[in-house]
Every structure is written in C-alpha cells, then in structure tokens.
A and B are shown apart, each in its own frame.
Chain A
Amino acid sequence: MSNMSNIDVGDLAAFEKMALKALRAQARSETRAAPFGRLRRNGMDYAEHRPYRAGDDIRRIDWRTSQRLGQTYVRQFDAEANADWIICLDCSASMSIDQASKWKLGLQLAEAFAYLCLITGQGFGLRVFSNKLDLACPLGRGHAHFATLVALLGDASVVRQGGTTHFEPCYSGTHHGTAFIIISDFLSAESLVQELDLLVQISSNTQLIQITSPRECVLPPKGVRSVQDVETGRNVSIEAQGAEHHAQARLALLQSDLLDYCLEQNIFLTQCQSNEAWRHVVARHLENVLGVARGQRVATDDHA
C-alpha cells in the first residue's frame, strides 16, 4: 500500500471485511445483483433491467417487459454490471472551506471506492476536477493500479480560490457505459442539473456523494458584514440577524432538490458531512445502493 494513502491500512482491511460481508449477503439474498452488489462474474449473463437512456443500444431493449410495464427497459448484462468506474473528486475552492475538511474526506472516499472496485474486480480510474481536469488516472485494474491511484491522490491538492464545479471534465473522453462516482459538495449557483443530465445519458451508472461541512453556514461571532464566494469571488452583504438561519435553510433546500432529482433519475445519492468517518459514509452509501437496488428489483418483479 502506498505511503501516501489517505486511509490507514488497518482501517482499509476492516473496511474490506465489512464490504465483502455486505456484498456476499447481497449476493446470497438476490439472484441478480445490483451495482456493487456483485462478486466476480464473467461472460454476458443477464444481470438486470433498467430504464432506457438516450444512447442505449436499441437491440438491448426488452420489448416485452417494456410493453408490460409501459416504460422502455433495456437488459443489462454482467459485462456492463462489472463496469469501469471513474471516481470523480471535486477539487474546486468550495471544498477547501473549513480547513479543507470536505476535501480530506473526499480523498478518503475516493480511495475507499477505488478499493471497493479493486476487491470486486472492477476497473477504476480517477478524475480530480473543478472547472477543468486537474488530475487524471486512466482506467485500470489490480493492486498496482490501485497503488498508482493512491499515489496520485497523494499529489492532488484542492484549489484555494476560483475553480467552479463543472462535470464536463468528468465524462469528457470516456466511452459510453462508463460508471461514475462523483464526490463533491454540489454547491453551485449555476444549475448542475443539465450537466448531470448529460452525465446520466452517457453513463451506465451514476452515484453521487455530497459532502457538506457542518460549518457551511456558520459565521464568526461578530464583525462580519459580507461573505465572498471562494469560487466566483462574488461578494454578498449579509443581514445582521438571521443570516445563518437563512443560509442553512437554503442549503437544506438545495440538498432536497438534489435528492429529488436523483430519485427521479435513478441516481444513487448519499449526503454526508465532512466530520463523518469515511467508513460510515461508504457503509451508508453501500446500504443505500444495495437497498435501492433490492427494492427496485422487487418492484420490477411485482410489475412482472
């Protein structure tokens, strides 16, 4: 393991046990596994159905199921389920707030998800991005590749000022069907929905980890009359009373909107805070992904 790892080796071993246990339980309970819910399989065995997305091969449309359910479904096979995962880590300046706690957790999560791909035998790559691609590790497999990725994460740094969040560097140059895990705070004045739409269209699976700081909307006790966006440089004067409460409400609304969008688009979203332990976040995400997949599976069977 690389010395530059953001995660302790002991923690990683414990995480492996926990993840394998969950995945095996998932494998035993389900005939067909959901994303991450699959141990190594080879070949082109049928894996699952999923709603049709723009760009999907029309030969894979299951016409019978689509007619029965009233919505276009495509078949997904093992080769797709064992997809290549690109782990995208946001390094824009907003991640540097609160002593870069979001960035530090993001580094740990990126490494943990790469390790998860490693132990499940899936390909993985890395993209560190803001409004441009700051660092990239191509797709690969195996322990050597994981060590390379960890070393690159060690070299990565967060932008201290400027660098707004845009997802275009994440999917630019990737092939159709690539799966994405995006780790970001998803705090942007501009609408990220359109960019996420594009990402969903070309990806086989999209999963989001939203990290926010518990001090995101906390100001120093007194003396503050305006705030400045670290990314855009925009200055906003704040009211003396209730400014923090107002900002907290808007943040909650923003998170709620993102959650609604993800539910609508079948995107797995896990929201966490920067003071959480990375293992808890990954466990919660796995639980989220496996639970949703199981529920979705059951719902599909019911429809069938």
Chain B
Amino acid sequence: MLDWQNPAWLFSLFAIGPIWWLHRRALMNETVHVSAAFLWASTIPMAEEKKQRAPADSMWLLRAALFSCLMIALANPFLISPERAAARSPATVIGDVSAKDEIALTQLSVRRSSHESDSWNGNLLINSTAQQSMTVPLTIRLKDHVIASTTVQLDPMKTTLYGFTFPNSALGDMLSAQVTSPDARTENDQLQLETSALLPVTTRIAGDCSTYMHAALRSVPGLVVTTTPNNPGVAVICGDASIPVGIATLILHNTDLETSMIAGSVQWRKQDLGFSDLELGSFAVPNVLPQSLPGSPVLTTDNRTLVTVENTLPRRVHVWFDVQQKSLALTPQYPILVNQLVSLALAQDQSDSVAYVNRPHELTALTPARSSTQAPNAQATAQHTTALAPWLIAFAGLLLILDGLWHVRRMQRRD
C-alpha cells in the first residue's frame, strides 16, 4: 500500500514532523494538579482561551525536526536504494520522454492440435502501448527453421493474439518469436520457448499384454508404443515379466484368483492429475488381494484397493485387477483409463500437454524519466543518502531517547 516512490506518500511522511510541531498546543497543554482550582480562576474563559496558540517551544521544534530527519532517513533506502534501482529503475526508466510506445511479446504457448494429430498449435500475445495502430513484422522460428514470417496489425493500447501451426516432426527444439519494432526496449521484442518437454514419451510394452491394451496405449496422444528396450520413458508390464529399474512403470499384476463383478461405485483417491471423475462400468475384481499392497491407494471399491502407486521417483503404479478384461476394454472410457494410468506413472497428463512462457507485465511497462541525465544522478544521490542513513537514524534516535529521559526526569521533579 505504501509506495515511497509516490510523491504524495513521501510528502505526507515529511509533513508528520511539522504537523506535530504545529499542533504543539495540545501536546504542551500540560495540566498541573492544584489544591483549589478556584484560586486560579482566569479572567479568560476556557472556550476563548482554546483558540489561542501556545508560544513556540524550541524543544518541540527540535523534536519535530528530528522526527522528520528520522523519517526521511528511513524512507530514502526505500525510495531510491541502489538495489531497487538495479532491480527496477534501469529496466523501466527510459531516457527519451517522447518514446512512450512499446511493443512487447508477453506470452508464447504451444499445445497439441485437437483436430490434426500430427501438428501443434501455437499462440503469441503481443501487447502494444502505442497511441495509434501500427503494423510490425513478426518471425517465428523453430531452431533455424522459419515457421511463420508475417506482419501483424496491432491495435493501440491492446493485446493482440497471433495463432500459428507447425508440424509434429519439428518439435523438440527452441521455438522463438520476434517482432521488429522501433521502440525503446528491444528485449521485449523476443520470446523463446523450449519444446523438448512436449516430445512424445516412448512406451515399452512387456509381458502378455492384450490387443485391447496395445490399442488403448496407441490412442494416448503423447505416447509412442514400442516393444524394444531402447531407452523408454515408461514401461507397461503385463503379468510376470521382469520389472525394469529407473523408469516409470505401470505393472498389471496377474489376477487369476476368484473374481466377482462389480458395477460402478469406484473411488479415485489421487486428485493431483484431475481424473477423479472417470466413471467405470461393470467389471470383475478379485475377491482376495495380497495382505500388504505397496504404495498408496489410487482406485478403490468396496474396501478393496484396485490401484496403488509408489511415490518414488520414477513412479511405479500397480494394478491389482484384470484391467485387460473384455467387459472393461470394450467400454468407451477404457482408453481414458489407460491414459490416466500411464499419466499417473509419468506424473504428468499425457492427453493435453501445454508449454508456455510469460513475460511479467512490470517488465513491459514504461516510466519515462524527466530527462535523459536524471537517472544516473538519482542513483548517485541514493548511494550517498543511503550511506548516511544509519548515522542519521542512530543520531536522531539517540537525541530522541535523551530528550525523552530528560522529559521524564523533569516530570518526576515536578511531582
């Protein structure tokens, strides 16, 4: 709330001392107890006397001056400290008072296309503080490959959205957007986004996985299914196959025990990936499960735990019922269930990956300086004042303490 860069606040701070002194009458209106007040009955009625000002007291003037010095000394480091100057002022203050127009790229985001499986959609937000509309050239590159090169029409004092598309094959490198504008700050004209996090995860399938499982895994957008053990991102183990170490793993345990059918009423315990609302139809679950299941429960029904996850890195997800059973695999929600289990193992949602980068608004706001030479002077003053501030504070504080002690002693003597 308090902003010492605001002149009004600074002036108010400075004015406290003088106001204190100007109101000395109330503070100086010391009352002395006497035996009989009627002996002191004044010829001036109390109401009229109140209008009169007390004579100036040099001690109160000194106190007010000390208070003002103390406050200013305390405020200066907040006002124009070198740290703040380095953190804020050079980034926001421009020397040319006429250059108020600024074009800034404020956000660059990439998301998988919803209707073309082999392409990605990108969005770019361009903010303009110019007072009139203008056209700027825009170039978007993925590494050295130019994705788009065009001109963008920018409305005055508005943010413009520019959308673009690029193929899946080009993913994995640095995506950069750049406009060419004659404004004050060139660092606002470019944004870069790392897209390697959006690359599809290689999924290795091991064991006796059904065709339903294969099909479901292939339907997950961010997965590439393979059966070769070449540096996979996640492994799906069906049955008793060996469990790999060091990668995220989805383990579908053999459940050849006696089962019984259940319908609905499953409960998802894991909320962080946001798939708690997935309803499952009727499917068979084993009547008896091992006594101690590793990890914490994710999916439960009727006091039986069907899915658990070990919260280690990388994660291991255990499925304790036949997730490949036909009655379940033929339901529409089956691919979603498989997607969620893989996402749980990878600790990130594979169905809709979004990558983005933002530029904070305060880095794009402009504060023109009064003159082109004032900024360095202000910084020099700040350094000089800040060096004196501790001494000023100590001196003023010491004087105020001495004055307070003297005042208390005088009051005690008076009593």
User: Which residues of A approach B to under 8 Å, CB–CB?
Assistant: 94-95, 97, 99, 185, 187-189, 213, 216-217, 219-220, 222-232, 234-240, 243, 246-247, 250-251, 254
Contact = CB atoms under 8 A, between A and B. Distances in A.
B401 to A, nearest CB: 20
A227 B34 contact: yes
Interface stretch (B41-49, B199-207, B371-379): B41-49
Given A227-B31, A228-B31, A239 B37 contact: no
A217 B57 CA distance: 24
13 contacts: A216-B34, A220-B32, A226-B31, A226-B32, A227-B33, A227-B37, A228-B33, A229-B37, A234-B38, A235-B37, A236-B38, A236-B41, A251-B39
A234 B37 contact: yes
A189 B31 contact: no
Given A189-B36, A223-B28, A228-B33, 6 more contacts: A94-B35, A222-B57, A225-B31, A236-B46, A238-B40, A239-B44
Interface string B317-359: 0000000000000000000000000000000000000000000
Given A97-B34, A220-B414, A237-B49, A225 B29 contact: yes
A219 B46 contact: no
Per DSSP, chain B at the interface is mixed
Contacts of A185: 35
Contacts of A246: 40
A188 B414 CA distance: 24
A264 B49 CA distance: 41
Nearest to A222: B57
A246 B34 CA distance: 14
Contact of A189 (B33, B37, B414): B37
Contacts, number: 98
B54 interface: yes
Interface of B: 25, 28-44, 46, 49-50, 54-55, 57, 414-415
Contacts of A243: 40, 42
Contacts of B37: 189, 227-229, 232, 234-236
Nearest to A217: B39
Contacts of A227: 31-34, 37, 40
Contacts of B25: 225
A211 to B, nearest CB: 10
